[in-house]
């Protein structure tokens, strides 16, 4: 399960980073290098999605939880916005849900 979580985390960072770079390029008059980095990062994101071991719908459902966690951590670390106790609790709940879904993969796919 740790490998799956690591892959989800890389996938989320690639998606959020690629979108952020595109936003930066569009809104802040970034150079074409920023746009190129955005496109490469988003292609990496799409490729990483193909590495997950089960049906696409299951991947998207479990990945959604990790995406929420990485997005809120991005909010905290990059955008420098503090998180409330309820936001931290929500992150924990999302991770527990993802863990339950991924644990089910090994049960139903033996």
The tens digit of pLDDT for each residue in 23-65 reads 999 988 789 999 999 999 999 999 998 887 777 777 777 788 8
User: How high is the pLDDT of residue 22?
Assistant: 94
Residue 10 has a pLDDT of 92
The pLDDT of residue 66 is above 70 = yes
Per-residue pLDDT, 110: 45
Burial of 1 (0-12, 13-18, 19+ CB in 10 A): exposed
In degrees rounded to 5, what are phi and psi of residue 92? -60, -45
Specify the pLDDT at position 19. 92
pLDDT at position 109 over 60: no
- In 10 A of CB 43, how many CB atoms? 12
Q: HSE-up of 20 (CA within 13 Å, CB side)? A: 12
């Amino acid at each position: 399960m740790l490998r799956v979580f690591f892959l989800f985390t890389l996938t989320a960072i690639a998606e959020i980073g690629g979108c952020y770079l595109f936003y930066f390029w569009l809104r802040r008059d970034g150079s074409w290098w920023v746009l190129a980095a955005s496109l490469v990062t988003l292609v990496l994101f799409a490729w990483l999605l193909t590495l997950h071991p089960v049906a696409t719908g299951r991947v998207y459902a479990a990945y959604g939880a990790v995406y929420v966690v990485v997005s809120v951590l991005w909010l905290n670390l990059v955008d420098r916005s503090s998180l409330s106790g309820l936001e931290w609790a929500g992150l924990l709940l999302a991770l527990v849900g993802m863990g339950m879904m991924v644990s089910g993969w090994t049960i139903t796919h033996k």
